[in-house]
Amino acid sequence: MQYEKGDPKGYYAVLGITTNAGVENIKSAYRRRAMQLHPDRNPGTDTTGQFQLLNEAYAILSDKTSRTEYDRFEAEKEAETPAVPEPIVCSSCGKVSAQPRMVVFRSVKSFLVVTMRKPIAGVFCSECAQKQSLKASATSWLLGWWGFPWGPIYTVQALISNMFGGTHPPLENAKMLGYQAYYFYATGRPDLAQSIAESAIKYCKKIPGSQARKSPPEIERDNLIGNLENFLAALKIDSKNNQLKSNWGLLHRRFFVHFGLISLVAGGITFAIINSPESSYSPPRGPMPYASQSSAPLLSDGKSNSQHPVSGLNIQKGTPKKALYVRPKATPNGRPWPVVAAYLPGELQTHTAGHSEVTIDNGQNNADVQLKLVSLDGKTARPARQIFIPAHSQFTIKNLTPGSYDVRYRDLTSGNLSRSESMRLTETSSSKGIRYSAVTLTLYKVANGNTSTYGLSEDEF
């Protein structure tokens, strides 16, 4: 039987009355209960013990003096024995800890187009918090990636948050630690109470404030700080000689396990991308096969002159590309570079039977360029003109035969190669004269340039 507070022996309970019942209520309750509990009226039930307790209760409570002593005995007992608060325990292992924390971890599960983020919150000791963070991250590693588009994004967020110990709500932790400090004080451990109270104040200071009217959490924070400071002042313990080592530091086993897994996966993905055949950038090919030589004149025996028209040096196809670019000191045929914008000396200048013009604007660039105007007529693209254009200069290619062309050039400072879009030069005769194309191309680096450019491989220059 559960007795009412202030009824240590159950006298009021057996009579079925409250502690503030009057004398007449006691008498009428006794007569009613005596008839109910009398052994003669309960032959099949042993009510002797209750009947004896009923008589004892009536004897004590019907007398004013004995009833006063009975009530005062319970009050004095409660005053002499202060209540000890129940401690806050780890929600995982159930142990009492001097450093419990309320922590929120993140777990992600994805199913194609559905991604679910689940917060895992609880009060943990440091050891159980490590296990819980690893469990949440393992779930995210296995099941978090498979939803589009949020699966990978939320999974990365969860893994990083769990790696750094999850989220610690500051107000909730401050209140919890303040309560835990009082528990250790009540159980005779003022040293632990002092350290825990200081940790609670640190959490209070993490709660942001505002210059405007204070919000309820801010008011609660300030009141809590005041109570904790008064509590510490009453303890009168030198905090310098009583520092509790924190078990919640960043560089914990949990952090290195998470960091190692993330680094391992990131390294594997990077290695796979770098070594993937598709990862090597190949500039788009030109519109047709390319030969780096201009169309050479035929010799008297009908054979093509495969030697360079000026230097007489054999052109070697498939020359390996240098790993490190070095600006050439001379033109491809060994001649000095021109001082001003001009055709490369010793190179064939073909397609000269027309009136069209192409002006190449390099006026706003800081690098010299070696440029080729390439003819796209025929089965093979070939250079028609080869030109040197210094930085901040321009050059006009004149007397061009009508047809299709593109421009290919090398930045002589960096070695980078580029190719323009193809263009069509036309020429028509009329009674008023000859109408021909006059095109101006600004090179890639010029702001608001008037042509798109593409990367170019070495074998197409």
Q: Please provide the CATH number assigned to the domain covering 342-460.
A: 2.60.40.780
Contact 84, 179 (CB under 8 A): no
Check whether 321 has a pLDDT greater than 70: no
The whole-number pLDDT of residue 123 equals: 93
Pick the CATH number of 11-80 from 3.40.630.30, 1.10.287.110, 3.40.50.2300, 3.50.50.60: 1.10.287.110
Q: Which residue has tokens 């009613």?
A: 32
- For residue 3, pLDDT over 80 is answered with no
Using an 8 Å Cβ cutoff, are 20 and 11 in contact? no
The mean per-residue pLDDT over the stretch 140-159 comes to 91
Q: Where does the pLDDT of residue 14 fall: very low under 50, low under 70, confident under 90, or very high at 90 and above?
A: confident
Residue 34 vs residue 350, higher pLDDT: 350
Is 90 exceeded by the pLDDT of residue 44?
no
Q: Is the pLDDT of residue 4 over 60?
A: no
* Residue 55 dihedral angles phi and psi, to the nearest 5°: -65, -40
Grouping H, G, I as helix, E, B as strand and the rest as coil, residue 175 is: helix
- The predicted structure's pLDDT at residue 307: 40
| Residue-wise pLDDT tens digits, 216-261 | 888 888 889 989 988 888 887 766 666 677 777 766 677 778 788 8
Q: How confident is the model over 269-288, as a mean pLDDT? A: 70
| pLDDT the model gives residue 234 | 86
In our burial notation (b when 16+ CB lie closer than 10 A, e otherwise), range 428-447 reads eeeeeeeebbebebbbbeee
Percent pLDDT > 70 in the chain is 83
The answer on pLDDT for 148 being more than 90 is: no
* Domains of the chain by residue range: 11-80, 170-241, 342-460
| pLDDT band at 82; cut points 50, 70, 90 | low
pTM of the full structure: 0.46
The DSSP bridge pattern shows strands 438-442 and 356-362 to be parallel
Model pLDDT, residue 316: 43
403 pLDDT band, cuts 50/70/90, is very high
